Chains A and B, each alone.
Chain A
Amino acid sequence: MDTATEQRSDHVLMLAVRDGELDALGELFERHHGPLFGFLVKLTGQRSAAEDIAQTVFQRMLKYRHTYRDDGSFSAWMYHLARRCAADHFRKTNAAPHATDPADLQEHADERPHAGDHATARDDHALLHTALARLDRDDREVLLLSRFQELSFAEIAGILECSVGAAKVRAHRALGELRNIYVRLQQQRSA
């Protein structure tokens, strides 16, 4: 990666893609595929589906590059596409996300520094995965967008096609709902 590319913002890179410099999308992929994949894994609960959707998102970026606006925000546009691709996925599979993926949990546990913490961390993550999966999909979506993706509420409102106030209310309600489910699951585990 050369210095000139490093200095270009996401927006400038996407404008270059729109104008025919398709290689600039490679830099955008390198910058964003990780967070995008993380969002989609948490949204779908499935790694393979998340990879497929992430792939489709970048495909659609290429396909619809001419629709990218001069005054656009690249992240907001990307998550707008991601949301639509995920909606397509849910419509086709008509499946609720899987709460736990044993392979994921093992992988996560291995990353922990102290072996004694593994079981607790794994259990907590599993509970949270389950709690997230039990959330209404719209609630899960707004919660993940507001917490992880460094998006402003104005951008989230644009993605969800609602007012800024409504986006904030939905995010707060979703967090409250997640809290309730998470606490219930913790109580069930303790019982």
Chain B
Amino acid sequence: MNCSSARDTFPALLDRRTAATAHTEARAHLASCPDCQREFAALSQTLSALDAMPAPAPSPRLRKNFYAMLEEEKHSAASAVTSSARRQRSHRLSLFAWILSPIAGCALIALGFMLGTRNAAPGASDTQRELASMREQIARQNDQLGKMTQLVGYQLLQQQQGPANDRLREVLASANTEKPDDKVLDNLISALAYDPSTNVRLRALEALYPHADRAVVRSSVLASLPREQNPLVQLEMIDFVAAARDREAAPVLTKMAQNESIDRSVRAAARRALAQL
């Protein structure tokens, strides 16, 4: 083995995890080559000095800030779950109004019909005519119910695959663009500023994170922050401007920190971001 090949193995030989029995040829060369011995000793000495550098300990501030952040996140997550449950409840009520109400109506009519047939005197021609009329009415109700169910199904489908979902897909596609051009960034910024869907705005902000070094992105997020009403998005935006160390955000954050009408966790996040700036 020559010196060049032996030196290629030096990283492995200097690695504490390499077995002592590995690279026997290189070790044999090293034992007999003064030049390689000098090179190896210099590298080894540098590494020893590096290993001997004391490991500094962080101040208590790091732990304190971490647990404060964790508590806040738990609080936000709990709020998100509550609001999701509320949405689901509201969705169920809406389903009841659209689907179950007509069914309940039909059931009441059918019940009335059955009670009527049991209690009426048998054999009367008037009763038979009434019976036929009732049957027609039930058939019409069933027909209407079928049409209603189709309509509700269509509306639910629209809710699931409607424009907000399309916009979300567009934002996700933009987020996956490795080198987005100005148009893609403009779209993301517009989505963040104007899209009515919270999910779309959150995704847009997430997609803008890698471009926080661009002034136009930072100023756009900052411009959107005072307009934003949703606490979840507000928290994310504050996180963004704090991570971007955007000092121009200080006046906006100060106002938010002092605004009693804003969510308490958002005010706390604004104060923390101000400290970070």
The answer to whether A and B come from one shared complex is yes
Q: Which A residues fall within an 8 A CB radius of B? A: 20, 22-23, 25-26, 29, 33-35, 37-38, 41-42, 47, 50-52, 54-56, 58-59, 62-63, 85, 88, 91-93, 104, 107-108, 111, 121, 124-125, 128-129, 143, 146-147, 168, 171-172, 175-176, 178-179, 182-183
Encode contact with A along B214-251: 1 for CB under 8 Å, 0 otherwise. 00000000000000000000000001000111000000
Contact pattern, B 48-88, Cβ under 8 Å of A = 1, otherwise 0: 01111111111101110111011001100100000000000
Tier of interface size on chain B: 35 or more
Nearest CB in chain A to that of B71: its residue? A22
- Which single residue of chain A is at the shortest CB-CB distance from B8? A172
- Contacts A37-B58, A37-B62 hold; do A178 and B73 have CB atoms under 8 A apart? no
Of the 9-residue stretches B39-47, B146-154, B193-201, which lies at the interface with chain A? B39-47
Q: Cβ of B2: which chain A residues have Cβ within 8 Å of it?
A: none
Q: List 14 A-B contacts (CB under 8 A).
A: A22-B70, A29-B70, A33-B63, A37-B62, A38-B56, A51-B62, A54-B62, A88-B213, A93-B245, A107-B54, A124-B52, A125-B53, A125-B54, A128-B49
Say whether, besides A51-B59, A63-B239, A175-B46, A92 and B213 are in contact (CB < 8 Å).
Answer: yes
Contacting A111 at CB < 8 Å: which of B54, B61, B77, B245?
B54
Chain A binding surface SS class: helix
**CB-contact partner of A178 in B10, B50, B57, B59, under 8 A:** B50
- Is the CB of B212 closer than 8 A to any CB of chain A? yes
**B11 on interface, CB distance cutoff 8 Å:** yes
Decide if A172 touches B10 in the complex (CB within 8 Å): yes
- A26, A47, A129, A175: which has the most chain B beta carbons within 10 Å? A175
Within the complex, the shortest CB–CB distance from B129 to chain A, in Å, comes to: 64
Decide if B276 is an interface residue (CB 8 Å cutoff).
yes
A22 and B45 alpha carbons, distance in the complex (Å): 44
A88 pairs with B49, CB closer than 8 A: no
When the two chains form their complex, are residues B239 and A59 in contact, meaning their CB atoms are under 8 A apart?
Answer: yes
Contact across chains for A179 and B42 when beta carbons are under 8 A apart: yes
**Distance between B148 CB and nearest chain A CB, rounded to angstroms:** 38
Q: How far is the CB of A21 from chain B (nearest CB, A)?
A: 10
Complex contact A175–B47 (CB within 8 A)? yes
Contact B66 A179 (CB under 8 A): no
